[in-house]
Structure 1
Amino acid sequence: MNNICKMALLVITLLHVTQLFMPVSLELLTFFTALLFGVGLFIQKSGFRTITLFFFTLGTLILIYYKLPFSIGMQSLTSMTNIIAIIVVMQLFSIPIEVGHYSDTVEYWLKKLFKKESSLYLFAMIVTNLFASFLLFGTVPVMVSLFNKALKNSVSQYQRFFATAIMRGYTLALFWAPGAIIILLVMQVTHVSWSQLFVPGLLLSLIGMLTSYALEHFTRLNKPIVTMSEMLSTSSSIAKNAPKQTAHIILVIISLIVGIGFLERFSIATGTGRILLAGLIVSTIWIAYYRKKPEFKTVLKNYGESGIMQATDFSVFFIAVGLFAGAVDHSGILSYIQPLLQESVNHLGIFSILVIPLLFIFIALCGIHPLVLAVMFGKILLSVSLPLSSVSIALILLLSAAISFIISPFAGMSLMTAKFLHVTPLEVSLKWNLLFCSLFLVEGLVFAYLWQG
């Protein structure tokens, strides 16, 4: 089953890369999408499988009830496979990270530069934010391996320090990172390009990090780090390579941003297609840079055996959500809901900007995944008249999803972080992050309203 899933994932990715240059058969893409869904469903984790089956069944029932053509069903089933292709490509970045031992560089700067908990906290957030821009789902385990040894005996309230820094740093990258799934979904739903979201998204990310730093600095993290230099030792080779490897990471991020901007400037490919192509080019160059390293073949083999399979859960989930979203789009259901929503928006006026994200977050706390809510709310919001531009609506969706990822005990980020730190998801989400999320929600809504780009 694993081999069939790998083959289907690779073929879907290859078809989307090919589609950037020439037409691709919808029937062929549908076949491999159906194959991935049918096989991947059996190896999908139970939590994902339940909601996947729910949306797949709901989408299928809508298609049948409204007697929509089979071609619409195929288009809907494959509508989000471009996101699957991007996930597969972005996971390639884990190969050079592992072969190049970039964790040693982060540890070197951590030991060398920081004397107080608050400055170390800001560093941990920034590093997580940068790595999350291309590591995506692999960020949490990588950050644990980077910081665990250095931080465990060096800061007070270690688990809280680690959980908040990693979760906030990761989630704030979702506002601007070109490969982040939520930004791809929001782009697809709101028809806003990545270049339109990049500047306001980056500014929101910076606002969030500064808010988090200030909150922790003035409430908890103002103690000096006294054990760092005694605890860790650094080899001369690591010290020598640290500046060069730091430049590599910065260059990779800049290359992704410039590459996407270049493709958009010359109208090459679609919005998600540009991200796919830029990610593939940059990751391939970075991988090729380490091709002569002794451990290169081993790491590449491990990626082929297990790394690519990390995309399965989300891939099968997105196929189901795509089917549901496409069915809703073509059925005309939103035309029945629109008058009621428009009346509510007219009644609430400007306060609807506050009610919408609060409703989004509340539903997420009840267990509905923020990715699903982003699609549903995005389609509904665009169907009514709001005193906001499409970019502002996209920012509000990103803000609502980002906060939901942090404070929902059911979100994968909360569950994964809690598992690695041996604490409860409730501590990681609500107990340690509720105050920050409340402040950031207010800041983000004001920012989104003022940014009418």
Structure 2
Amino acid sequence: MKRLYIFFAFVFLLHIISVLYPNEILNDCLGILAFLMFVISFHKASRLFQILGVLFIVTGTSLYFSADLSIHQLPPILAGNLSLLTLLAMLPWMNSVVAAGRFDRLLQQLLRGNVKDLGMLYQRSITAMMSLTAFLNVSSATISQDVLVDNLKPVKRQVANKFIMMATLRGYSLALPWSPLEVLVAMAIFITGVNFAQILPIMMIITIVMYAIDSMWGRYYFGRYHYPLDEDSVNTQKARHKRRKILQLIVALLSFLVIVVLLGNLFDLEFIFIVTVIVFPFAFVWSLFMKRFKSFWTIGWNKWKDNLNHMQNFIVLFVTLAFFTGTLNESPALQMIQDPIIAVSNAPLLILIMIQLLFIFMSMFGVHPIATMGVLGGISTMLMDILSPLSLAVILITSGVATVPIGTYGLVVTITSMSLRQSPYYITFYNLPYSFLFGAVGIFVAYLLI
């Protein structure tokens, strides 16, 4: 299984070729290869993703027999989500250049900052998390929690745990709505067909609003708790070095966003494909600029291989999800799902609320927001007749992101639960008001865009 990455990489390369040079035979081959990927991955996937996969297969099979589909039409359906899997396969290269540039250490330094109370540290923590999660993703949560657990030892344990589970999860979620590297964003754009340049300023505004509200609340709520000053953090020379690193990170992030937007406007290519093909060249050039290419390549090559060798969960999810949505779109069952929504089509606000509640409800039972978004993608055409593509994209992204701090069996909540030795339901409980507020802001903005 250590060389499984070679097979997966071959399939993803073929997918990139098929986008650049469309071919029916190649699409059929990709569908067969996607099925082989699923067969290979199923027994290595976690129990939760196995259950989701089986549910999608069973439901999709029943839909297949009720739809007007031939066996020859199945391969292209199975290959429907390969673009998302290819994007996931390339993300480790961006994480690696950040690690090579030692920006992960910057996060550690920022969390040991010159602050007098936990309120100031809370604001700094969510700022640091939001800044670096865009590149580091889940790694930022593990790094920050390790640092904060160590730093908050003098603080009462109950207060420290509450601080960590709020600051890290909320800061993490604030980096997701506007990041071109976030799969939820990519999938929402994939479903609705909106341009990234259209959605970016809207998501930035929502992020700023949520950041302002949560940081002010954090300063007020945790401001009563004293924080022991770290003398090393006030070192002037180190402070200058941190400022340079922060500036470099901001420039890199803005450059990446600009490149994605420009290429999206210049070429008639999908957003997911554009991000996928520029991740490695961008990371490569950035590593040369920082004079860290050797570290970048060493870290990146190992991370990339390891990531591909352990993609079983997402392969099972996306291949079976493609089968389910593909058969749903061709079956009479689609009309049965559409009828209740058509019945309330004159109340789009109600539909927006229903979408948000569906994401929250499903997340509490371990269903990944990507899976929920995929199910809604099956009826996206009808939803866009009521909501408009931009409105639907906003509600899908905000609904998905709002579940991140409360997804009881989600990856980040699970990591936090293990780090703090707390029940995931306890973590969900304390972040529930934040998630409902995030969802409410998303509903309000999406309603304005109808």
The two structures have a TM-score, normalised by structure 2, of 0.89
Q: Deviations over 1:108-164 (max 9, x none)?
A: 344444333223212221222222223334332233345443444468722211111
Partner residue, 1:274: 274
Partners of 2:214 and 2:125 lie apart in 1 by: 12
Partner residue, 1:158: 160
Q: What is the letter of the counterpart of residue 246 of structure 1?
A: I
Matched, 1:442 2:436: no
Matched, 1:325 2:325: yes
Partners of 2:381 and 2:114 lie apart in 1 by: 47
Partner residue, 1:243: 243
Mean alpha-carbon deviation: is it higher for 104-113 or for 189-198? 104-113
Mean alpha-carbon deviation: is it higher for 78-87 or for 380-389? 380-389
Aligned pairs for 1:174-253 within 5 A:
174-229=176-231, 241-253=241-253
| Structure 2: tracts of 5 or more residues without a match | none
Quote the offset at 1:189 in angstroms: 1.7
Partners of 1:271 and 1:418 lie apart in 2 by: 34
Partner residue, 2:425: 426
Q: Is the 8 A contact 2:119 2:220 kept in 1?
A: no
Partner residue, 1:400: 399
Mean alpha-carbon deviation: is it higher for 271-280 or for 435-444? 435-444
Quote the offset at 1:381 in angstroms: 5.3
Q: Deviations over 1:287-306 (max 9, x none)?
A: 44567677556534532552
Partner residue, 2:106: 105
Partner residue, 1:311: 311
Q: Is the 8 A contact 1:350 1:387 kept in 2?
A: no
Matched, 1:351 2:350: yes
The two structures have a TM-score, normalised by structure 1, of 0.88
Local SS of the residue matching 2:413: helix
Q: Is the 8 A contact 1:268 1:274 kept in 2?
A: no
Q: Is the 8 A contact 1:131 1:139 kept in 2?
A: yes
Partners of 2:29 and 2:360 lie apart in 1 by: 38
Q: What is the letter of the counterpart of residue 32 of structure 1?
A: L
Quote the offset at 1:342 in angstroms: 0.8
Partners of 2:9 and 2:74 lie apart in 1 by: 23
Partners of 1:32 and 1:77 lie apart in 2 by: 9
Q: Deviations over 1:399-446 (max 9, x none)?
A: 22222232231223222221122211011112x112222333323322
Partners of 2:98 and 2:229 lie apart in 1 by: 28
Local SS of the residue matching 1:219: helix
Q: What is the letter of the counterpart of residue 390 of structure 1?
A: P
Partners of 2:53 and 2:140 lie apart in 1 by: 24
Q: What is the letter of the counterpart of residue 183 of structure 1?
A: V
The CA RMSD over aligned residues, in Å, is: 2.9
| Structure 1: tracts of 5 or more residues without a match | none
In structure 2, the CA distance between the partners of 1:429 and 1:310, relative to structure 1 (3 Å rule), is farther
Partner residue, 1:171: 173
Quote the offset at 1:234 in angstroms: 7.0
Q: Deviations over 1:176-231 (max 9, x none)?
A: 1112111122112222222221111111112222222222222333434223227x
Q: Deviations over 1:13-37 (max 9, x none)?
A: 3234334533362133224322321
Quote the offset at 1:98 in angstroms: 2.5
Partners of 1:95 and 1:72 lie apart in 2 by: 39
Quote the offset at 1:239 in angstroms: 5.5
Partner residue, 1:70: 71
In structure 2, the CA distance between the partners of 1:110 and 1:204, relative to structure 1 (3 Å rule), is same
In structure 2, the CA distance between the partners of 1:438 and 1:244, relative to structure 1 (3 Å rule), is same
Partner residue, 2:341: 341
Partners of 1:403 and 1:164 lie apart in 2 by: 13
